[in-house]
A and B are shown apart, each in its own frame.
Chain A
């Protein structure tokens, strides 16, 4: 397939692995930000091609994983209302809240629908004037423009039975939070290519300078990731800390200005709690004053939940690169995709799900056997 197969060439991948091994003289720890990159790494076995000195740790860039449990509880409460059609990207339906997930709401009679685009919600709203249509707006900068456009068009078209439960998060504040932690082990970042397609990479330049970490904007195919690793390692070995763009076929330094414009018009920057990590200031998006009537939390008078997350799941440590999924005692035993302790085990972009789905044969047989139970 054009634009895909040429980035999955086994011979070139092997050559990249050899080149990386040749330029690596010291141990380095790199973090890929995006859950899509994590899955590509584990699914294709990209890390198997790297020298032992290179450690890849997995970042917080999984929108499902970082959505706070309170938001899931709020979604569950709104979705269970008889006057509501609750729309979400499919990935969110399996994420456990305090008591249940959205699939359980659906099984209990709630009208929960998977949509592929937030704009589809406007069509549903027009077709169901007696219902309230609520869209669960999660994700990073990548999904923000389309979600912003849905609210913008709803206002423009006078659609009043539509609102959004917003849980948008931003990448750069999370990168800084990880780097400024005392437990940090990340020495370079593979930045998320699709986030940068929207936002560009100007905003990473001060981070690279302040913390002296190389940041390479990287794509999602095996050769993209291998090239991103090589670019990071070269910088580390040469003592440089710059922002470089591996994903130049998609990303420009200034990003997509039209997308940024609609995001800044509809949303404003707010503090946001990250599941498993905690609150990070100025790290999320909420609806701006002009669009605040489309805020589902206000519309349905949802109280400010405080949900306690129990201690066994170490998703916070995993999403900050301190631990790997298979280093969690619950992994594959008390935490499986059927009975998840945490969101990273259910999400298509979660690191734990990637390890569980693609990596179990690397584990000792004793731990494989417990996983089927």
Chain B
């Protein structure tokens, strides 16, 4: 047998720049983070944007308001547990809730592809109406555009929302303190796997349904009960890991979490094992983390667990006293590891 060329330490040319937008620029990971930090934030520079929260919060004539927007481009349009319409309402409702705001009014912009069956649009619109009703918001203004066939993916929806903040808490990464407990509102990863299974035709013993749900009612109950919430973040693209890394960086906090305390349903874990995915990075549409002072943990968990969208809640970690920003996880076998953001979306492994 030939021997290899004697240890020739070679490697390819780096791909340092991105002359084109890549899918990963919207994947919720590092590339998207970079795009926002290097292009959008500096160009539109202002103090509200600089807070880097799920929405902007500001005061007008003594009223504190929250304002947010999100676009929905999911494929497939329909999946177990929801569709693009329910996502478009709940996603924006949840972004407002993460600002500690009571969601009030939403707008909806529809970009429809020529040839879309009217029946499909009708189903989506009815779902939006129902989701808005369940979240106690009204859809008060909107816009419709149609693009040529082949130039869209059936339906794209943008929603924006306004909510009112009726308390004196400052819910933001800047309020995170050493000693804060980190509560997770339920099991991870169902939305990501539900979409993946539907998109790729993967079937499991029973359908995994998206966790898509409005979170505002639960957040209002926590606030009304006097829980001193320091920070909230819903776990959408990029999952729990990206959310914690973002908060850790923004708050310059060292966060430790315990893998054994993080609930992941068995069917989701099974799908992850097959695909080589880490549930920590899977998308959710009805889950959030709350940073609260340690003395409030028991009461907050009681409230979470007694609510239908928070009944799987658990205490998963805490903020340490060290100043260097990082997320560190105690693994199942008791060792520790670093938790980082992914560059883009997770890719299924080869074998």
Residues of A within 8 A of B (CB): 1, 4, 8-10, 13-14, 36, 42-46, 48-49, 63-64, 69, 72, 89-94, 96-101, 103-104, 106-108, 114, 116, 138-140, 142-143, 173, 176-177, 180-183, 194, 222, 271, 274-283, 307-317, 320, 322, 334-335, 337-343, 348-349, 356-362, 365, 368
Q: Which of A103, A194, A342 contacts B23 (CB 8 A)?
A: A103
Most buried by A among B10, B200, B276: B10
Contacts A107-B21, A281-B1, A340-B15: A45 and B350 contacting too (C-beta < 8 A)? no
Question: What are 14 A-B contacts with C-beta separation under 8 Å?
Answer: A1-B269, A4-B273, A89-B348, A90-B348, A90-B349, A142-B351, A177-B3, A222-B333, A276-B8, A276-B9, A276-B11, A279-B4, A361-B328, A362-B338
Per-position binary interface string of chain B over residues 1-45, scored 1 when its CB falls under 8 Å from any chain A CB and 0 otherwise? 111111111111111100011111000001100100000000000
Contacts A43-B331, A103-B22, A337-B343: A69 and B12 contacting too (C-beta < 8 A)? yes
The answer to whether A277 touches B332 (Cβ under 8 A) is no
The answer to whether A104 touches B332 (Cβ under 8 A) is no
For residue B148, which residues in chain A have a CB less than 8 angstroms away from its CB?
Answer: none
The answer to whether A45 touches B348 (Cβ under 8 A) is no
Q: Which of A106, A139, A312 contacts B11 (CB 8 A)?
A: A312
Minimum Cβ distance to chain A for residue B75 (Å): 13
For residue B333, which residues in chain A have a CB less than 8 angstroms away from its CB?
Answer: 8-10, 13-14, 44-46, 49, 222
- Known interface pairs A63-B350, A89-B348, A107-B20; 17 further A-B residue pairs with C-beta atoms within 8 A, sorted by A's residue number: A10-B333, A45-B333, A90-B348, A103-B24, A173-B1, A177-B3, A278-B4, A278-B8, A279-B4, A317-B7, A341-B12, A341-B14, A342-B11, A342-B12, A348-B347, A356-B340, A358-B337
- Give the number of residue pairs across the A-B interface with Cβ within 8 Å: 213
Describe A's contact surface by its main secondary structure: mixed
The answer to whether B5 touches A279 (Cβ under 8 A) is yes
Give the docked Cα–Cα distance between A140 and B351 (Å).
9
Minimum Cβ distance to chain B for residue A183 (Å): 6
The answer to whether B6 touches A181 (Cβ under 8 A) is yes
The answer to whether B349 touches A280 (Cβ under 8 A) is no
The answer to whether B338 touches A358 (Cβ under 8 A) is yes
Q: Which of A63, A64, A181 contacts B4 (CB 8 A)?
A: A181
Give the docked Cα–Cα distance between A106 and B1 (Å).
39
Give the docked Cα–Cα distance between A20 and B31 (Å).
42
The answer to whether B351 touches A116 (Cβ under 8 A) is no
Size category, B interface: 35 or more
Minimum Cβ distance to chain B for residue A8 (Å): 5
Q: Which of A1, A48, A142 contacts B273 (CB 8 A)?
A: A1
Q: Which residue of A lies closest to B276 (CB)?
A: A348
For residue A107, which residues in chain B have a CB less than 8 angstroms away from its CB?
Answer: 20-23
The answer to whether B350 touches A309 (Cβ under 8 A) is no
Give the docked Cα–Cα distance between A182 and B9 (Å).
15
Q: Which of A104, A279, A308, A334 contacts B15 (CB 8 A)?
A: A104
The answer to whether A98 touches B6 (Cβ under 8 A) is no
Give the docked Cα–Cα distance between A315 and B7 (Å).
10
B326 CB within 8 Å of chain A: yes
Give the docked Cα–Cα distance between A105 and B331 (Å).
38
Q: Which residue of A lies closest to B275 (CB)?
A: A116
B261 CB within 8 Å of chain A: no
Minimum Cβ distance to chain A for residue B163 (Å): 33
The answer to whether A360 touches B350 (Cβ under 8 A) is no
For residue A342, which residues in chain B have a CB less than 8 angstroms away from its CB?
Answer: 11-12
Nearest first, the 8 A-B pairs at minimum CB distance are: A45-B335, A313-B11, A278-B5, A90-B347, A309-B10, A281-B2, A342-B11, A358-B337
B147 CB within 8 Å of chain A: no
B76 CB within 8 Å of chain A: no
For residue B9, which residues in chain A have a CB less than 8 angstroms away from its CB?
Answer: 276, 311, 313-317
B51 CB within 8 Å of chain A: no
For residue A4, which residues in chain B have a CB less than 8 angstroms away from its CB?
Answer: 269, 273
Minimum Cβ distance to chain B for residue A213 (Å): 16
B202 CB within 8 Å of chain A: yes
Q: Which residue of A lies closest to B328 (CB)?
A: A361
The answer to whether A339 touches B340 (Cβ under 8 A) is no
B336 CB within 8 Å of chain A: yes
The answer to whether A91 touches B1 (Cβ under 8 A) is no
The answer to whether A106 touches B5 (Cβ under 8 A) is no
B270 CB within 8 Å of chain A: yes
For residue A180, which residues in chain B have a CB less than 8 angstroms away from its CB?
Answer: 3
For residue B10, which residues in chain A have a CB less than 8 angstroms away from its CB?
Answer: 275-276, 308-311, 313, 315-316
Q: Which of A48, A92, A143, A194 contacts B335 (CB 8 A)?
A: A48
For residue B30, which residues in chain A have a CB less than 8 angstroms away from its CB?
Answer: 337-338
Give the docked Cα–Cα distance between A173 and B2 (Å).
9
B205 CB within 8 Å of chain A: no
Minimum Cβ distance to chain A for residue B310 (Å): 24
Minimum Cβ distance to chain B for residue A63 (Å): 5
The B149-208 residues at the A interface (CB cut-off 8 A) are 200, 202
The answer to whether A310 touches B324 (Cβ under 8 A) is no
Q: Which residue of A lies closest to B333 (CB)?
A: A13
B143 CB within 8 Å of chain A: no
Minimum Cβ distance to chain A for residue B61 (Å): 41
For residue B62, which residues in chain A have a CB less than 8 angstroms away from its CB?
Answer: none
Give the docked Cα–Cα distance between A140 and B350 (Å).
10
Contacts A108-B20, A357-B338: A96 and B12 contacting too (C-beta < 8 A)? yes
Most buried by A among B276, B332, B351: B351
The answer to whether B23 touches A116 (Cβ under 8 A) is no
The answer to whether A320 touches B7 (Cβ under 8 A) is yes
For residue A96, which residues in chain B have a CB less than 8 angstroms away from its CB?
Answer: 12-15
Q: Which residue of B lies closest to A2 (CB)?
A: B266
Give the docked Cα–Cα distance between A63 and B349 (Å).
10
The answer to whether B347 touches A114 (Cβ under 8 A) is yes
Minimum Cβ distance to chain A for residue B6 (Å): 7
Q: Which residue of B lies closest to A89 (CB)?
A: B350
For residue A181, which residues in chain B have a CB less than 8 angstroms away from its CB?
Answer: 3-4, 6-7
Q: Which residue of B lies closest to A195 (CB)?
A: B351
For residue B335, which residues in chain A have a CB less than 8 angstroms away from its CB?
Answer: 44-46, 48-49
B308 CB within 8 Å of chain A: no
For residue B7, which residues in chain A have a CB less than 8 angstroms away from its CB?
Answer: 181, 183, 316-317, 320, 322
Give the docked Cα–Cα distance between A69 and B22 (Å).
21
The answer to whether A340 touches B14 (Cβ under 8 A) is yes
For residue A315, which residues in chain B have a CB less than 8 angstroms away from its CB?
Answer: 9-11
Q: Which of B1, B31, B324, B351 contacts A194 (CB 8 A)?
A: B351
For residue A348, which residues in chain B have a CB less than 8 angstroms away from its CB?
Answer: 276, 347, 349-350
